[in-house]
Amino acid sequence: MSMNFKTILKSFIPFLFCLFSLSPFSHSQQPEKNAKPHSIIIDSDTLFNIYHGIGIFSAEVRAKEINKRLDNLLHNYDKNFDSIKITPEADHLLLAIDDYPIMAFLPIDAAAEASTVEAIAERYRSIIVKKLWDTRKLYSNENLINNSIYSIVYLVALLLFLFLVSRLFPWLYKKVQSLDNAKIKDINLKDKQLVKSSTIVSFLLISLKGLRFVLTLFAFYLFLTEILHLWPYTRKWQLQPLVKILILLVFYTALYVVLFKSINSLTSFMKSRYQSWKGTKIKTLRLKSVDLLSAERTVEVLILITKFSRLVLQILLLYFFVTIVFSLFPFSSNWSGQLLNYVLNPVNVVIKAIVDFLPNLFFIIILSAVFRYAIRFVGFIFSEINNGNIEFPAFHREWAMPTYKIVRFLILVLAAIIIFPYLPGSNSPAFQGISVFLGILLSLGSSSAIANIVSGVVLTYMRPFKIGDRVKIADTVGDVVEKTLLVSRIRTVKNVDVTIPNAMVLGSHIINFSSSASEKGLILNTTVTIGYDVPWKKVHELLISAASECESLLSEPKPFVLQTSLDDFSVAYELNAYTNNPQSQAATYSELHSKIQDKFNEAGIEIMSPHFSAVRDGNQITIPENYLPKEYKAPPFRLFGINIGTKNHENP
């Protein structure tokens, strides 16, 4: 009983739709402005749109109910769709089949399309009947069997095509590889070889491989699109664009890889060609007898340019590849335009900035030229002063080049101050902030450097030494080899270069051995200690004689001796001699000491050290034997005037 009630209720509900179509309320409805369309669909195909509802049913609910009825009718294989009729009712037309209502046509529907109710009812009936028959035929067993046969035929055709391709192209490869110079000749232009036959053969092989790859992709594309379009279950799928996208993606990727490798191969080929052209097509660039650019250097430059060009081409290739790939997919199609803007916008900004900067650039070029010639003029003046062609009172020649460097620095600073406002971005807060930040860093980190520079300037005008002078700065003795605003470099007698900051030089005492050596002579002195038993005049004579025999010492002014101290057991004699070559002090001292030893040994005078006692113990004298007379004998030990240890000695 309950089942019958449910069945009756279920069959009764569809008639509610028609019931409302008969109500006066529904007929009195007015067309809505800008009504939203709701589609009537069969098998995913839109037949027409519904713009207005009926009674309490909105247009959306009305469209859903009609779609539900059409779907039920489509799956009822017992119905003959030609039985769908239009039945006139009180104020509307009803579309139904065997007392099964499908939809009602109201004047409001006709008003929405500016037509009559009868016209739209007949037109919609024709559309619905045709679509129902077509859909039933599409899903019929006969059609599915035919589609299966066509699918097998397409698959066999694809396999046959792949088989033919796998046979044909290897045969073509062998034919191309068998070509020799008799069939394919080199391409020459005026006895110059442009392209070798082997290069042409390689190009043909690459072209055939590319053609095979393209044909294979195209065959798969045709097969997939036809199969998907053949079956009713997949013909509405949006897979054809996706398959097309995937195939294009594979194609563009393969093309990118081929082009990328081609660029690398071309770079390697050009590098080998450059090496082979060295000395023939690429020769040393000469200007008269001066070699401006050797062939080896030219080859290196060409290889560097080729590598840079390869990098640029690979970056551009990658950029275009990524842009094309983005344009393939719907979700990233806008990215390609944005990616292009990422490159074009900075380029436009740079070009606009360059164009706007041109007036300032011309002004900077003119200022640079003026300051350049000003520096050259100042350099000419100071070089003439340095050469002695121009003289100023109280301005020494050695001040010329240091002063020129200072003036040149000041001119460059003045030029930077004038040019700075004309630089691009100089007025921007970022540029000014960075300038202040760098200024603070330089101020905090360059205090010692500034101190050395100031000390270098002071030392320049103090003239304590010049390059080549033998000096002593603190504990360092050597020749001055370099003077800069920051440091002074001293080379010691052991050929050790010592770098001394100018602030330390200025704060230390400086001994210059060379400043008066050329005019007055540098006095070298050495001290010997001789016992009181030797006459001092004899010692003076021997020391002066030793100094006069030294070649590196001057004869005028004459050397002299000073007795600097009278010690407990000996007298200290200081020999002073003049030299004009302070750089060889060590060698001069060595020669002088050897001469003093020779002179004193020849005179039979022993150079006593104040640490030895004057009491003799009878041992052999310390003078070398070749200076002693043949009859020399070691003296005995004397005690109170008695010789102890002799044969004539008598015990008390």
Q: Which of 82, 97, 81, 93 is nearest to 118 (CA)?
A: 93
Q: In the numeric block, which tokens belong to residue 602?
A: 């020849």
Give every strand in the sheet of 85-88, ordered side by side.
85-88, 93-97, 100-105
CATH of the domain at 464: 2.30.30.60
Contacts of 269 (CB under 8 A, 6+ apart): none
pLDDT at 322: 86
Question: Are 295 and 227 in the same domain?
Answer: yes
pLDDT in tens, 163-217: 999 999 999 888 888 876 566 666 666 666 666 777 777 888 888 888 888 888 8
Question: Are 472 and 576 in the same domain?
Answer: no
DSSP annotation of 2: H
Percent with pLDDT over 90 in the chain: 8
**Residue 248 located in a structural domain:** yes
Question: Domain tally for the chain?
Answer: 5
Question: Are 34 and 120 in the same domain?
Answer: yes
**What's the pLDDT band for 218 if we cut at 50, 70, 90?**
confident
**What is the mean pLDDT of the segment spanning 475-487?**
85
pLDDT at 21: 40
Q: Quick check: helix, strand or coil at residue 100?
A: strand
**Residue 125 located in a structural domain:** yes
**Residue 9 located in a structural domain:** no
Question: Are 365 and 400 in the same domain?
Answer: yes
**Residue 647 located in a structural domain:** no
**What is the mean pLDDT of the segment spanning 98-120?**
77
pLDDT at 527: 92
Q: How far is CA 607 from CA 137, 318, 566, 621, 629, in A?
A: 139, 91, 15, 11, 18
Question: Are 198 and 317 in the same domain?
Answer: yes
Question: Are 279 and 296 in the same domain?
Answer: yes
Out of 16-30, 316-330, 501-515, pick the least confident.
Answer: 16-30
DSSP annotation of 420: G
**Residue 43 located in a structural domain:** yes
pLDDT at 214: 84
| First-residue to last-residue Cα distance in the chain | 177
**Residue 201 located in a structural domain:** yes
Among the three residues 95, 114, 139, which one is the final residue of a domain in this structure? 139
**What is the mean pLDDT of the segment spanning 408-432?**
80
Q: CA 490 to CA 514: how far, in whole Å?
A: 14
Question: Are 300 and 155 in the same domain?
Answer: yes
Among the three residues 328, 353, 377, which one is the final residue of a domain in this structure? 328
Question: Are 29 and 83 in the same domain?
Answer: yes
Question: Are 409 and 494 in the same domain?
Answer: no
Exposure class string for 238-248: b at 16+ Cβ within 10 A, else e: ebbeeeeebbb
Which residue type does 94 have? L
Question: Are 323 and 335 in the same domain?
Answer: no
**What's the pLDDT band for 639 if we cut at 50, 70, 90?**
low
pLDDT at 576: 93
> Residues 122, 68: contact at Cβ < 8 Å?
no
Question: Are 231 and 245 in the same domain?
Answer: yes
pLDDT at 648: 47
**Residue 411 located in a structural domain:** yes
Contacts of 458 (CB under 8 A, 6+ apart): 506
Question: Are 505 and 530 in the same domain?
Answer: no
Judge residue 232's burial from the number of C-beta atoms within 10 Å of its C-beta, 0-12 exposed, 13-18 middle, 19 or more buried.
Answer: middle
Among the three residues 381, 413, 428, which one is the final residue of a domain in this structure? 428
**What's the pLDDT band for 594 if we cut at 50, 70, 90?**
very high
Question: Mean pLDDT: which of 6-20, 52-66, 96-110, 314-328 is highest?
Answer: 314-328
Higher-pLDDT residue of 390, 566: 566
The domain containing residue 584 runs over which residues? 522-612+620-639
- φ/ψ region of 641 (left if φ > 0, alpha if ψ in -120 to 50, else beta) reads left
**What is the mean pLDDT of the segment spanning 431-450?**
72
pLDDT at 640: 58
**Residue 599 located in a structural domain:** yes
**What's the pLDDT band for 245 if we cut at 50, 70, 90?**
confident
